[in-house]
Amino acid sequence: MQHYLNYVDGQWRDASRQLEVINPATDKVFATVARASVEDADAAMAAARRCVSSGALTDVRPAKRTAWMLKAAEAIREIAEEGALILCRENGKNVDTAREEFDEAARYFEYYAGMADKVEGISVPLGKDYIDFTSYIPMGVSVQIVPWNFPVSICARSLAPALAAGNAVVIKSPEVSPLGMVLLIKAIEKAGFPQGAVNLLCGKGSEVGTHLVKHQDTNQIVFTGSVPTGQRILKDAAERATPSVMELGGKSAAIAFADVDLEQLLRSVKVGIFYNSGQVCSAMSRLLVHRSRYEEVKAAVVNLAESLTVGIGESNAELTPVVSKDQQQQILAMIDKAREEGANVLTGGKAADLEGYFVLPTIIEAKDDMSIAQEEVFGPVMVIMPFDNEDQAVAIANGTDFGLVAGVFGENLNQTLRVANRLIAGQVFINEWFAGGIETPFGGVGLSGFGREKGQEAIYSYVQTRNIGIRLKHGV
């Protein structure tokens, strides 16, 4: 059985304790990983601080960071096939989805490589007696806590802009799915970044994660994960007023108007709620349909759900297991609660008769005030409900504590754009769920968090503005 290590101060480091990694498709342990301790976390923070203090990332011309970033992207692509199989086995997702994560990770490094030497300040006119300008200064040591649903991609999403801006980074990987990130860091190690610039720890969030968040050397926190964990981190961060970027949960709604193109909608439903078995913070977890098309769309969505192939990731099934036994049981418990509240489970709603942690594709007809329509499930579960007019649709869509993404489907551009501008969400898709890419800013409002990842905007989360004003003497 293969054993994986942590990466601290340019060295791969074992630990006295270890965590078991289970294949969700088989319910069997297939690897172990060193379980980082508080002492390991201190060593990683010390290494990152030394790197920052030495100027190894910032004294060089920014184009040097560009070169490191491009080398990292190339190295990531070289291990994509090997990494995809490991990620598939530890996470449950299909091989194609796992490979996409490594490809996307490489693209993040390529994209932010292009920005490393373009983070420019401004000159502020104050008259002839002054020269005033701004510059962008790296935050310093960025602590990044990565979730288990897209560990490789989300790790790169924050790591790449942080390095491009000149920060050193300490990453805490998820206990459930840490191995793909080990391969990611092994690839990045080949790029030539200064010692201590990148550190990787796999440990318990309650132990190592909390310690990193409260650490005196932490200059920034980046967290993607659940609302309760994010709230705990923010309370800890408040002690030192540590700047944070928070990408939390969602309960995102798609609105389908009477003139919706059904085939176009169904393509988005398939990817929107069943991609990665619904374990996506920006999943299409609610579908609101104009009453004139409701029965037609409902039947088509149920048929789509029932047509999906359910199986293991290594066979590239369309619906694969969820990441853990706990996750499976939590999803099933929420479905049971929906039934108790009077919701109608149209299809699915139970575990598949297979080895591993499967949940069948589930479509639930519910009222907008039921818990299943208000709370994040994080599984292959969609709530469907009708609406009668535009105002009602907007009210239902905006009627949760979240605000991550939303969607509008219809042929009338005036209507779809008008409604998009009324929706409370950081990103709104029109006629294609997940329209966009690494180039488009991503983040939420409300309980979905704050700050933006992806796109050019993201890099400014990893710097702070410094203003310098100079008083001139004349005639000297």
State the catalytic residues.
247
Query: How would DSSP label each residue in 248-262?
Result: ----EEEEE-TT--H
CA–CA gap between residue 192 and residue 67 (Å, rounded): 9
Beta strands in 265-396 (DSSP E): 284-290, 344-347, 362-365, 381-387
Q: At what angle do helices 179-189 and 62-78 cross, to 10 degrees?
A: 130
Half-sphere exposure of 269 (CA within 13 A, CB side): 33
In which order are the strands placed within the sheet that holds 28-34?
A: 2-4, 28-34, 18-23
Per the CB < 8 A criterion, the answer to whether 69 and 106 are in contact is: no
Angle at 370 between CA 368 and CA 376, to 5 degrees: 90
Tokens 């200059």 sit at which residue?
219
Terminal C-alpha separation, the chain: 76
Half-sphere exposure of 67 (CA within 13 A, CB side): 9
Per the CB < 8 A criterion, the answer to whether 165 and 48 are in contact is: no
